[in-house]
Each structure stands twice: as C-alpha cells, then as structure tokens.
Structure 1
Amino acid sequence: MQTAESSASTPSAQKLADLYRYWGRRQTPGDDPGMDLLRDLYDGWSQFAVEAEGVSFTTVDDDGVKGIWALPASPQKGAILYIHGGGYIGGSANGHRKLAAHIAKAANVPALVLDYRLAPEHPFPAALEDSVSAFEWLIGLGHDPATLAVVGDSAGGALATAVALHRKDNGLALPAAIATLSPFYDITATGRTFDTNAGKDAIASDRSTISGLHALLLGEGITPENPYLNALKADLAGLPPVHIAFGGDETLLSGGEDFAELATTKGVDVELVVYPGQQHVFQMLAGVDSDADDSIRRIGEFVRRHIGA
C-alpha cells in the first residue's frame, strides 16, 4: 500500500465533504425522499470537476448499450469501459462524464461511460449484466480485450472488478487492467474502518448506511455474499492487474485493503494508494484538487502501462 502526500485541507476537498453531508440531510432515516430526488442528488457529484480540455463527447445508444464516449483529441490504441458509482441505485454517465474524461485524457484512450440499469427498478444482477454486455460490445467494435481496461468508482469499482471475474469464470479473455476509485467491495459493512473512520466519512458514516441499500439492490436469490457483488468472497486468482485508490477518511477503506491482501496472496498484481484525509471518490474534484489530479494521473499511467497504449 502506498500513502500519498495529501492536500485534503484544501477548500475544494471540504466542499465535497459538505456535499455528502447535504445528501445525508436530504435522506433522513424514515423519510423516503423518492428515487428521483436521490438520483438528482447523486448527479450533483458533477459540479466540482472542470472540463477536461481537448476531450469531446458523443452519445451512445446501440444494441442495448447506452452511455457517452469521452474522446481525447488524438487517442492511442485501446479503450476504457468506465462504470459509474451511486450505490447501484443512482449515478449516471452524464453525472460522471467529466471525471471519466479526465481519466480518458490521462490514459489517452477513449472511455465509454456506461449507463446501466439501476435498482430498485432493476435489482442486481442487472447492473452486472449491462456492464458485461458493454464489454462485449467494445470487443464487437474490434477492440482486443488485451487493449481494454475497466475502470469504475464506488459501486462502479465493484462492477469493474465483477466484469473481469465474470469473464474469468466463463473462460473468456480478460481485460488488460482494472482501476477502481473507492470501490464498494465491503458490501456487508463489516470492515474495521467502519469503526475507525465513522466520525470522518461524510457519506457512509455508519454501517446502517450500507445495510439499508440491501433491500433496494438485491435481486431474487441474490445475497450480500454473492461473489460478483462482494469481491471479498470471490476467487480472485487470475485477475488482471488492479489499481485501487481510496481516501483515507473512508469507512469503505478496509474493504479495499482486504481485497488487496486477498488478491495479492492469489498472485494478482495490485496497487493500493491511499490519500490521507480524503473522502469517497475524491477524484470528482478533478482539475481543482491536487490529490484528485495525482490519482487520475496514476490511473492514466496504470492503464497505459497495461494496455500498451
């Protein structure tokens, strides 16, 4: 594990924490705000990042795959499948397009920012099915899996890992690399940082925040022990290299640490970088916070290194 030098005291970092606390106030326990409001709140993630200069966007709606291409000006060979976060119940390609654009620029390859079906209307494994289909769609465009990376934040980080696990379990060619930003590996909220970081994490301050999602996202016959939902219960042997970035104040941090340890013991090449004092998916501060920019730079270098771009 690497501990990055952090600038978490910057005003931009505090604004992200304030946004998360605002979300919490709008989601008072026992007061159902409705899914439309929740999703509007999650799309507020996009307000901080600046636009990635030189990256353009096109809409995708083809063969059941929906999303947005983030296209660097002069991309090299390869592509990224970017899977957004939002607890499986929110988030969108549009709300994450600026973050994905910065990563696409750093890696200098196009990124498909996927819109997948959300729970509770479409409980898990619908999100995984859509993510797997999108990866196949990229192959159908002519991309060799060895030139593809799967990247995601929060629930999208867990889905990015699950895409590779699903392909491995089915004997299919794997992506060249997986990069995850604050991945939602600890779906059971049993990790030790739920105790040590309870007073620091502004979005998931206690276990009830996570356990409350289960009734919304679990499809018939699916439990929190499902290995495609809970990578800590999966056989990680044979996965491609994995980069994991976390904020040091996250309650989900120990899930990333445990995943890194489990994967490493199975022979997987894992990079885990922790930014002290930072919040969940702090990379949403792209262009306005030095930690976010450093993390995105590292992810871009990691992707380029493994896809040969």
Structure 2
Amino acid sequence: MASKESEKLAELYRYWGDRRAASNEGIPLIRDFYADYHQLATEAEGVSYATVTDGPIPGIWAIPAGAAGDAAMLYIHGGAYLGGGSTGHRKLAAHAAKATGLRTLVIDYRLAPEHRMPAQLEDSRAAFDWLVELGYAPERIVLAGDSSGGALATAVALHLRDTGAKQAGAVVAYSPYYDVETVGSTFDTNAPVDAMAGRLGREGIARNVSNFTTEEWDASSPYINALRSDPTGLPPMLLSVGGAEVLVEGVEMFAKMAIEKGVEVELEVVPEMQHVFQFMAGSAPEADESIAKTGRFVRQCLNLF
C-alpha cells in the first residue's frame, strides 16, 4: 500500500489539473507549475550548489560532500519539453547526487515551443561534451533525468552511439517520456488513477507533442520516441516508473527492447506511485527507496565503493 506521504504528489497533480482546466494561461501556467516542483522534497543534507558560469549551457552544480573526483552525473530535467529547470529540479537532483556520490550538473536547456527539437537534444549533448572537456571520461559520466529529461538522457546515449563517440557509463531515467505516440494500453487502464496525465489522455499528449516537434523531427524520430529506436550499444540503464502512470507500458516495452538487444536494464515499477514520484525525496519512503536504488546502481556501474 502506498504511504500517506506519497498522496501529496497526487494532490499536487490534481490541483495542477484543476488550475489548468480553469485557466487560459497555457504554457506560462505550466512553467509556473514546474518551477515549484521542488516543494515536496526536502533539502539534501551535505549537498551544496554552485551556478555554472563557464559552460555552454546554463545550470547549476549539485555537489555532495566527498564527491568522487573522477566521475560526474548530467541531470536533465523534465517538464514535457515546455517547462522545468534547475530551480524546480535542484532538490531531486541533489538527493540523487548524494546517493550516487557524484558531482551533478543540472542544465537549463532551451524550451519549446520557442525552441523545438532537436534544440533540447543539442543542448544536452553539448553539456555532456563539456563534462568530457572538463576531464571526465565518458564512461565515468552518468546520464540521468526525469520524464522528458529521462527521454533526453536516453536520446543522448543513442546520439553518442550514432555519432561514434564514446558511450556514457550509465543511464538513469525516472518516469521517462518514451511513449509519445500513446501506444501503450496503460493510457486506458491507468487513466483513472494517473493524477498527472490521466485527465489529459491521448489527445492531451498529442497536443503536447505538437508543441516540441516539427515536420522533420516528429513523433517517429528515435531521439524523441525511444520505442522507435534501436537500443543496441546503450550503457546499463535504470528505468523507474510509478505503477499508476499512463506511461508504464511504454517504459516496459522499451526495457524489453533493450534487454533483447543485449543492454543491461534494471526496471523498477513501484505500485500506486505517480509520475516522477522521486520528487518526494526526503518526504516519502517510496521516493527515498528509489533514490537509494539509484545510488546502488550507479555505484556498481562506475565501481564507486
């Protein structure tokens, strides 16, 4: 049974849905929502922050005490490609940084619809390349993200492979936004219990996709739609999704695809949890357990013991 603490995220999403239904503010309102995403998480003790002043993409560093000197994590925020940023995601990233022991770069990539794909992929890849320029070996860099950021973390790994670059050390994706064509049956079965996207349904997802795609970069692009990709050659992956989400089957389908292509995949489906339930880090046991699992997974992949 889900903890009482975890219900706060569902309450937040229902509030968002009510506000969205009663407002004509559109994307500005959505961006306001994502800017306040941090409110359910606690501050991660022992993690400090520093503004990025010299990188190609703006953002912040989340730096845990005793961070590994030769490894780093790139955290790519979610927000349906339309919102989100280092401000609203810093607490979640900080808890992940503490669990993994990695200095973590949280970037502010360009947002749609002002900037459509591949702008978000280009910025995420530029941030990865900058970490390499700083001296981190590619295999010592973890690609991580939530929702659309989880999809982008996966897309960067695909892009590294496709361009012949050295691969990252691991991918961690929380509630990754893989199923942009809404082919999964959980868009039907989980609609009544998904407090974030259940009310939007397939039509709502289609509207969202239209805001960040183009004729050339549409929902069939493997960098946008992981279910259209070939996962061969991807690094070890930790995929986590809430059991109440409409996205569940899409994540499960990709995990199966990747395993069949020889990719090491750890799939976590947590019963009754909502979209990116890790946002309750420090406040709900399910979030803390998932982030602790992230720490174990990353430390094993990078031999950080």
**TM-score in terms of structure 1 length:** 0.95
Q: Does structure 2 conserve the Cα–Cα contact (< 8 Å) formed by 1:185 and 1:230?
A: yes
- For residues 221 and 235 of structure 1, what CA distance do their matches in structure 2 show? 19
* Aligned length, in residue pairs: 301
Alignment partner of 2:97 out of 86, 95, 104: 104
Q: Quote the RMSD (CA, aligned, Å).
A: 1.2
In structure 2, the gaps of 5 or more residues are none
- For residues 86 and 38 of structure 2, what CA distance do their matches in structure 1 show? 10
Cα displacement (A) at 1:28: 2.1
Residue number in structure 2 paired with 1:260: 255
- For residues 308 and 143 of structure 1, what CA distance do their matches in structure 2 show? 15
- For residues 28 and 166 of structure 2, what CA distance do their matches in structure 1 show? 38
**Identity score, percent:** 51
Alignment partner of 2:213 out of 187, 206, 218: 218
Deviations 1:33-65 (A, max 9, x none): 142222111122110100000000000132421
- Per mean C-alpha deviation after superposition, the further-off stretch among 210-219 and 169-178 is 210-219
Q: Does structure 2 conserve the Cα–Cα contact (< 8 Å) formed by 1:125 and 1:219?
A: no
Q: Residue type matched to 1:49 in 2? A: A
Which structure would you say has the larger RCO, counting Cα contacts within 8 Å and 6 or more residues apart? 1
1:80-159 mapped onto 2 (5 Å cutoff): 80-159=73-152
Residue number in structure 1 paired with 2:2: 8
- For residues 53 and 216 of structure 2, what CA distance do their matches in structure 1 show? 30
Q: Does structure 2 conserve the Cα–Cα contact (< 8 Å) formed by 1:147 and 1:308?
A: no
**1:196 aligns to 2:189 (yes or no):** yes
Question: Matched residue of 2:62: which SS?
Answer: strand
- Per mean C-alpha deviation after superposition, the further-off stretch among 57-66 and 239-248 is 57-66
1:264-275 mapped onto 2 (5 Å cutoff): 264-275=259-270
Cα displacement (A) at 1:219: 3.0
Q: Residue type matched to 1:227 in 2? A: P
Cα displacement (A) at 1:212: 1.1
Question: Matched residue of 1:61: which SS?
Answer: coil
- For residues 302 and 236 of structure 1, what CA distance do their matches in structure 2 show? 19
**1:165 aligns to 2:158 (yes or no):** yes
Residue number in structure 1 paired with 2:292: 297
Q: Residue type matched to 1:37 in 2? A: L
Q: Does structure 1 conserve the Cα–Cα contact (< 8 Å) formed by 2:20 and 2:26?
A: no
Inter-CA distance 278–33: structure 2 relative to 1 (3 Å threshold)? same
In structure 1, the gaps of 5 or more residues are 1-6
Residue number in structure 2 paired with 1:60: 52
Cα displacement (A) at 1:280: 0.2
1:223-242 mapped onto 2 (5 Å cutoff): 223-242=218-237
Question: Matched residue of 2:94: which SS?
Answer: helix
- For residues 122 and 71 of structure 1, what CA distance do their matches in structure 2 show? 29
- For residues 130 and 189 of structure 1, what CA distance do their matches in structure 2 show? 26
**1:69 aligns to 2:61 (yes or no):** yes
**TM-score in terms of structure 2 length:** 0.96
Residue number in structure 2 paired with 1:32: 24
